[in-house]
Structure 1
Amino acid sequence: MQPSHQQWLIPFAIQLIPSGLLFIGALWIRESPRWLFLKDRRREAMESLCWVRQLDASDIYITEEVSAIDSTHEAQRANVGVGLWQPFKALASRPNMQYRMFLGCMLFFWQNGSGINAINYYSPTIFASLGVQTGTVNLMTGIFGVVKAVATIIWLLFLVDQLGRRKLLIIGAIAGSICMWIIGAYICVVEPEQHPSDHLTSSGIAAIFFFYLWTAAYTPTWNGTPWVLNSEFFDPSFRSIAQAASTSSNWLFNFLVSRFTEQMFAAMGYGVYFFFASLSFLAFFYAFFLIPETSGIPLEKMDRLFGIKPVWRANAQLKEELVSEEQQFRTDIKGRAVHKENEGDSSNESEGPLAQ
């Protein structure tokens, strides 16, 4: 498309389609059961919870979850308080929660440190640095977007719950780092911008392959997983403030990367790829030593998850404890039911002679 008013207007208008679909879909989204319980709208909360779990209100699992939610809300009212400023006040006196918020915010540092937003905003420059001709740069950029979309769908439907959050971060960090090192090494050795050609060499095709491989490795790992983790790191008492802080940190790091990427390419050349490769390599250690697996852990148990060391064993250990506690809870429930039945039988026996 030739430079014109429509050149920016059409891409902007296309973005209104998914946002419009999101708005329409939001009209049918059910309210969070936890929020409804917090507001003492228990009938609506039970309906919403049963719809989410696809279980009857009498199911033992629903009984367990409602008990856990009620306990958490009681603790929130007693220790944190309800209101806009109460979580801020409580956060100031809880170093463990501040540390957890730091972990969540720094996930977005490592996410942006992978180079994704540099590539998002400067993909034509990057493809040109790989030796792609000007006429095919837009096509390559379009394929980059398609790869991201497909990988995102795979992540949503399969990977995030099958592999878990922690494994995805570790795999993505290592795979992304290797790809970036290879791309940087190619540009360092071949210098395609200094030796332009009317066609891609075999080494240039290999570099583009690793670029798309990096995209396929990054998208289902570091692209969306930090958002999932930040939604699960915190119990309902601090969840809102933590989400606000982590989202702000994402846009801060996004701004810094996008602001200085052009200057980095001008000053560092292929060194930019080595820079992002190094950050991805360091992200592996960050995820391995500091980020526990949150999959399958209720929000109400996150404090216990972060209290277990080492973090790479925390998920399995807590799940074992929760299974034991669940069995004890069910035993207690059954015991109470039997006790009530016995009381009812005793009452009927004592009333029998009087009725005669």
Structure 2
Amino acid sequence: MGILTMVEDRPTPKSVYNWRVYVSAMTASFASCMIGYTTSFIGTTVSLESFQDEFGLSTMGASQRSLLQANVVSLFQAGAFFGSIFSYGTAYYFGRRITLWTFVTMFIIGVCITFAAIGGHLGPMYAGRFISGFGVGGCTMIVPIFISEIAPPAIRGRLVGTYELGWQIGGLVGFWINFGMTQSVAYGRNQWLIPFAVQLIPAGMVLIGSLLFLRETPRWLWTRGRREKGIANLCWYRQLQPEDTYIIEEIEMMDLQINDLPTGFIKPIHLALTNNAVLWRLFLGHMLFLLQNFSGINAINYYSPTIFRTMGVNNTETIDLMTGLFGVVKCIMTILWLTVLIDKLGRRTLFLAGGAFGAACMIIIGALIVTEPAAAEGTGLSGQGIATIFMIYLWTCIYITSWNGTPWVVNAEMFNQATRNVGQVGASMANWLWTFVIARITPNMVAGMGNNGFGMYFFFGAVSAFAVVFVWFLVPETKSVPLDQMDRLFEIRPVRSAQPKLMEELAAHNAEFAKLDRKDEEAPEQVEDR
């Protein structure tokens, strides 16, 4: 098997894997480029001398300055939390495509408001960051749903993974643009304003693409009673005719599921909160994002310069380059995860391997720090300091190829049509909630959990080890499972063998369907023989 071999749930025409479905996924994923950029550039931008002088931060005390900088960052996260909630209504009433367009427009409005924050007035900055965060929250909810609903099962993980790839590419640009500003743009307003303006580039691309190219998902059209339009869009995405066997089977599967769906705006919420099976999946999704955030990624994302300084790296330019290399490693590993690992090894395997090896790395990092206090005092980059830096980069490779994007893929897959919106809202809320929490508590963990925060790494290692146990017993494999069969997948016990058993059931069903189809073809000949 090649590294890009696809595992199909049934015989699939090659035309199903066509340019339309790939370009549609990539167009929607420009929203994640927007998200990745805006979450990465802000930390270094507010630290620019030009920004701090513009808003008077350079004349403030350290605690007041830190508070104002934290407000600029955290208001964005707060907006994203609420945006993920409100996106449920627009996704239900107006569809996936219009929801994406609406929240990208909100993001653009928020960015434009921040341009008015000049001459020391932070009010427009606060308002703009909250509104742009509101737009981002809606996008984090709708993009994975949109992609999962248009994707064939065999490449669904890969296509949903473009969302994560876009996030990392945007994040990479977000770091390097600030490095470029300090190197090539003279001190002044433009030095900090240009990084803010660049946010409009990916936002504009997804805005135009959603209007001119993207088509509504067939599944949403089915739920709104627009079956014929849904069939037309399904044929467009698959590049097949309505009479093709593959299309007929997909229509049959959607008809069977949609007929059992609750109708209305409130009923799916009521179903999600009263149905134990759906509540269980909401719990699993929430826990995956909690475990993801408490694995340590955001502590390193936000405080990598501080971490590198504790290891004896004192030159500011060297620290900037090492932090940039951190972003490059993340981007490269995301490409590996997307093109090879997510659909070849599966979601569950990545969770288990990433948790186990990630825990080992974090424990080693903590041990290296606690046994080498001199490195933390800026006395030079010792051998153990070099080893610690190597382990941080190794941990980054492990994390990015396992826990970084995989929770988004699983959460986009494991809910049925009735509760998919609710499930994705829950995922977005959990992500932004725990991102906010870990960003707030990390400074206290560094200060209060031993010399140079070595206890923090042991804590992250313990969480990763717990994640292995959690996934082993509770999270089934979703690779190659049709969305219409997720309810059945979560019924099968034990969890570790649920996916193989379901795939056997589907193979038997498809064989029976093919046998009946052959009988129908032979029937006219038998009549003529008589």
Normalization by structure 1: what TM-score? 0.89
Cα offset for 1:2? 5.5
Q: Which residue of structure 2 lines up, in the alignment, with residue 332 of structure 1?
A: 516
Task: Please list, as runs of the form range in 1=range in 2, the aligned pairs for 1:226-265 lying within 5 A after superposition.
Answer: 226-265=407-446
- Matching of residue 70 in structure 1 with residue 255 in structure 2: yes
- Which structure's CA Rg is the greater one? 1
Which of 143, 149, 154 is matched with 2:325 structurally? 143
**What is the CA–CA distance in structure 1 between the aligned matches of 2:194 and 2:373, rounded to whole Å?**
36
- Matching of residue 169 in structure 1 with residue 325 in structure 2: no
Q: Which residue of structure 2 lines up, in the alignment, with residue 301 of structure 1?
A: 485
Whether the 8 Å contact between 2:359 and 2:460 is mirrored in structure 1 is yes
Cα offset for 1:242? 0.8
**What is the CA–CA distance in structure 1 between the aligned matches of 2:264 and 2:520, rounded to whole Å?**
36
Q: Which residue of structure 1 lines up, in the alignment, with residue 313 of structure 2?
A: 132
Whether the 8 Å contact between 2:311 and 2:376 is mirrored in structure 1 is no
**What is the CA–CA distance in structure 1 between the aligned matches of 2:279 and 2:306, rounded to whole Å?**
39
**What is the CA–CA distance in structure 1 between the aligned matches of 2:526 and 2:256, rounded to whole Å?**
28
**What is the CA–CA distance in structure 2 between the aligned matches of 1:67 and 1:250, rounded to whole Å?**
35
Q: Which stretch shifts more, 50-59 or 91-100?
A: 50-59
**What is the CA–CA distance in structure 2 between the aligned matches of 1:219 and 1:150, rounded to whole Å?**
9
Whether the 8 Å contact between 2:272 and 2:422 is mirrored in structure 1 is no
Q: Which residue of structure 1 lines up, in the alignment, with residue 173 of structure 2?
A: none
**What is the CA–CA distance in structure 2 between the aligned matches of 1:210 and 1:193, rounded to whole Å?**
15
Does the C-alpha gap of structure 1 residues 54 and 343 become closer, same or farther in structure 2, counting only changes over 3 Å? same
**What is the CA–CA distance in structure 2 between the aligned matches of 1:160 and 1:84, rounded to whole Å?**
33
Does the C-alpha gap of structure 1 residues 187 and 10 become closer, same or farther in structure 2, counting only changes over 3 Å? farther
Does the C-alpha gap of structure 1 residues 176 and 336 become closer, same or farther in structure 2, counting only changes over 3 Å? same
Cα offset for 1:342? 6.4
**What is the CA–CA distance in structure 2 between the aligned matches of 1:48 and 1:197, rounded to whole Å?**
64
- Matching of residue 310 in structure 1 with residue 502 in structure 2: no
Task: Please list, as runs of the form range in 1=range in 2, the aligned pairs for 1:194-273 lying within 5 A after superposition.
Answer: 194-198=376-380, 200-268=381-449, 269-273=453-457
Does the C-alpha gap of structure 1 residues 159 and 24 become closer, same or farther in structure 2, counting only changes over 3 Å? farther
- Matching of residue 106 in structure 1 with residue 287 in structure 2: yes
Whether the 8 Å contact between 1:297 and 1:315 is mirrored in structure 2 is yes
Does the C-alpha gap of structure 1 residues 154 and 259 become closer, same or farther in structure 2, counting only changes over 3 Å? same
Q: Which residue of structure 1 lines up, in the alignment, with residue 50 of structure 2?
A: 4
Does the C-alpha gap of structure 1 residues 184 and 8 become closer, same or farther in structure 2, counting only changes over 3 Å? farther
Give 3-state SS (helix, strand or coil) of 1:75's partner.
coil
**What is the CA–CA distance in structure 2 between the aligned matches of 1:150 and 1:22, rounded to whole Å?**
23
Cα offset for 1:338? 4.3
**What is the CA–CA distance in structure 2 between the aligned matches of 1:13 and 1:192, rounded to whole Å?**
43
Q: Which residue of structure 1 lines up, in the alignment, with residue 215 of structure 2?
A: 30
Whether the 8 Å contact between 1:172 and 1:221 is mirrored in structure 2 is yes
Alignment length (residue pairs): 341
Whether the 8 Å contact between 1:184 and 1:273 is mirrored in structure 2 is yes
Give 3-state SS (helix, strand or coil) of 1:4's partner.
helix
One-letter amino acid of the structure 1 residue matched with residue 298 of structure 2: N
**What is the CA–CA distance in structure 2 between the aligned matches of 1:244 and 1:48, rounded to whole Å?**
25
Normalization by structure 2: what TM-score? 0.61
**What is the CA–CA distance in structure 2 between the aligned matches of 1:157 and 1:60, rounded to whole Å?**
29
**What is the CA–CA distance in structure 1 between the aligned matches of 2:513 and 2:363, rounded to whole Å?**
52
Task: Please list, as runs of the form range in 1=range in 2, the aligned pairs for 1:44-63 lying within 5 A after superposition.
Answer: 44-63=229-248
Does the C-alpha gap of structure 1 residues 13 and 221 become closer, same or farther in structure 2, counting only changes over 3 Å? farther
Whether the 8 Å contact between 2:368 and 2:388 is mirrored in structure 1 is yes
Cα offset for 1:194? 4.6
- How much identity, in percent, do the aligned residues show? 45
Q: Which residue of structure 2 lines up, in the alignment, with residue 290 of structure 1?
A: 474
Whether the 8 Å contact between 1:305 and 1:314 is mirrored in structure 2 is yes
Give 3-state SS (helix, strand or coil) of 2:505's partner.
helix
Cα offset for 1:343? 9.9
- Matching of residue 160 in structure 1 with residue 342 in structure 2: yes
Give 3-state SS (helix, strand or coil) of 2:365's partner.
helix
One-letter amino acid of the structure 1 residue matched with residue 319 of structure 2: V
Does the C-alpha gap of structure 1 residues 197 and 273 become closer, same or farther in structure 2, counting only changes over 3 Å? same
**What is the CA–CA distance in structure 2 between the aligned matches of 1:220 and 1:19, rounded to whole Å?**
26
Q: Deviations over 1:196-251 (max 9, x none)?
A: 224x2222112111111111111121111000000001110100011101110111
Does the C-alpha gap of structure 1 residues 316 and 33 become closer, same or farther in structure 2, counting only changes over 3 Å? same
**What is the CA–CA distance in structure 2 between the aligned matches of 1:183 and 1:175, rounded to whole Å?**
12
One-letter amino acid of the structure 1 residue matched with residue 322 of structure 2: M
Cα offset for 1:134? 3.9
Cα offset for 1:37? 2.5
Q: Which residue of structure 2 lines up, in the alignment, with residue 352 of structure 1?
A: none
**What is the CA–CA distance in structure 2 between the aligned matches of 1:212 and 1:169, rounded to whole Å?**
19
Does the C-alpha gap of structure 1 residues 301 and 194 become closer, same or farther in structure 2, counting only changes over 3 Å? closer
Report the aligned-residue RMSD. 2.2
**What is the CA–CA distance in structure 1 between the aligned matches of 2:200 and 2:365, rounded to whole Å?**
35
